[in-house]
Each structure stands twice: as structure tokens, then as C-alpha cells.
Amino acid sequence: AIATGGPGVPRRTAPGYEADTAAVTGFVQQGSEAVLEVGTSQQAYAESASAVGVAFLVAGAWTSEEVLFESAKEGQVYMASTYASEWPTAVRLRIDGNDGYGFKFIRMSFGGLTRSVLESPNGEPYGNNQFWLDGNQEAHTTQVFPVPSTGRIVGRSSNNAMRWLLFLLLLLLVAGIAAYFMRDHIQKYIAVLRHQAGGQPGVFQQPPTSSQQSFLAPVSGLQSQQFVG
């Protein structure tokens, strides 16, 4: 990050480490909590000794600003959250200081889905662009980003769907194991059913009752007379 503590000479703070993004984004919001993730880029001077605040636009009103971080290291991911009744429609970042901050992505999670607000491999070099905040130089002090109502869903989006898939696979596994250990009983049961089905006469194989015989006797006699002569 570009600092103005010296006579116009930029200084560079100690570089941080690339965060384990999968572990960070594994943080799942509960209920109606919206979670914001901001990834610091690895551009020159991207780290910052200045604090950055964040606010969410929910149902047409901005939430109170909260601190995203007090200082940022290169490559690290920072998170903030707020409770919301619906998807936030915009997010606002504001730097409180003169040590510029560079970022490479912004992601918003809500209701089990994660949407990409701003995405890039490594942001852009310092300047008047959407990947930088600064309090006294070329970059803006405040940046407002709309949250897409649809758009690209980041790969780890739906944890609920994954849980249901794992549950169904586990259920199939348990059923298969149970069938394997009970195969002898199942085979015996099937054999008994086949024996019962083959040993008992069917509906049309059963002999007629006495009432059916008395009804059929005149008919059979009539058929016999038709063939005589």
C-alpha cells in the first residue's frame, strides 16, 4: 500500500501470506446472515495500514458501517457480516486513512449461495480503478459495488445440496450393506414366495363351486345338443 508518512516516498509493509480461501469461505452463514469476503491482491502496495469499513444496502437502506479490518496483509482474505431480511443489493467499502488498499475479489454469501460481486485473478496495479481504495491520492476513498441478483455462482455455493447428496449416498451404502448381510434370508423369502405362487391354483384354475356347476350344467347340455345331428 502507498503510505504518505514520508516525503512522497512510498513504503511497503511486510507482505502477508496467501490465505486458504477454501477454508475462509467455508464459513457458512446461519439464518439470515449475509457474509462479505474481500480478498487482498498481491499487486505492489496492496497491503494497508489503514482501516476499511463496510456497509450493506438492504431493502433500500444502508446498514451501519462496521470494520472490515484494521490493517490488511497482501494476499489475505477479510470477512464481515450483517443480518438481513433479503439479499443486499449493494456493498460499500470506505478506507479510513491514507494508506491505500488493493483487492482482487469481493464475494457475497446469503441463504446458502455465494455470488461474485467483483472478480479477478489479482486485481489491477494502483490507480483510479475499482480495485483500489485510498484516502488522499488517485484511488477513491469510497467504492460502491452492486450485488448481482443472479450472475455467476462461486463454486462452493450450495452447501445444503451437497449435504443432501452425501445423505443419499450414505443411505444407499447402508442399504447395500444390510442387503449383503441379509442375502440368505432374502433368498429364502423369495423362494417361499415362488413356491406359494407356483403351488396354489390360480383364479381360473380353481374348480367351480356347486352353485357354479348347477348354473353351467344346462349350458353344457345345450352345447352338446348343438353338436348332435
Domain boundaries, the chain: 32-146, 160-191
Q: Report which of residues 92 and 150 the model is more confident about.
A: 92
pTM: 0.57
Residue 200 has pLDDT above 70, yes or no: no
Q: Average pLDDT, whole number, for the chain?
A: 78
Residue 96 has pLDDT above 50, yes or no: yes
HSE value, Cβ hemisphere, 13 Å, CA-based, for 84: 28
3-state helix, strand, coil in the chain (%, to 5): 30, 25, 45
Asked if 109 and 56 count as a contact pair (C-beta separation under 8 A), the reply is no
Report residue 7's pLDDT band, with 50, 70 and 90 as the boundaries.
very low
Q: pLDDT, tens digit, for every residue of 160-190?
A: 566 778 888 888 998 889 888 888 888 888 8
Q: Report which of residues 15 and 109 the model is more confident about.
A: 109
Express as a percent the part of the chain with pLDDT over 70: 67
Alpha carbon 201 to its chain centroid, in Å, reads 58
What is the predicted pLDDT for the residue at 152? 52
Q: Which of 161, 154, 159, 158 is nearest to 39 (CA)?
A: 154
Best CATH choice for the domain 32-146 from the list 3.30.470.20, 2.60.60.20, 3.40.1280.10, 3.40.50.2300: 2.60.60.20
Radius of gyration of the chain (CA): 37
Give the burial string for 48-76 (b: 16+ CB within 10 Å, else e): bbbbbbbbbbbeeeebeeeebbebbbbbb
Residue 28 has pLDDT above 80, yes or no: no
What is the predicted pLDDT for the residue at 225? 52
The three-point CA angle 69-24-154 to 5° equals 110
Angle between helices 183-199 and 159-181 (to 10 degrees): 70
Secondary structure (DSSP) of 120-144: -SS--SSSSSTTEE-SSSSS-SEEE
Q: Report which of residues 107 and 171 the model is more confident about.
A: 107
What is the predicted pLDDT for the residue at 183? 82
What is the predicted pLDDT for the residue at 25? 39
Range of 70-74, 176-180, 210-214 with top mean pLDDT? 70-74
What is the predicted pLDDT for the residue at 209? 59
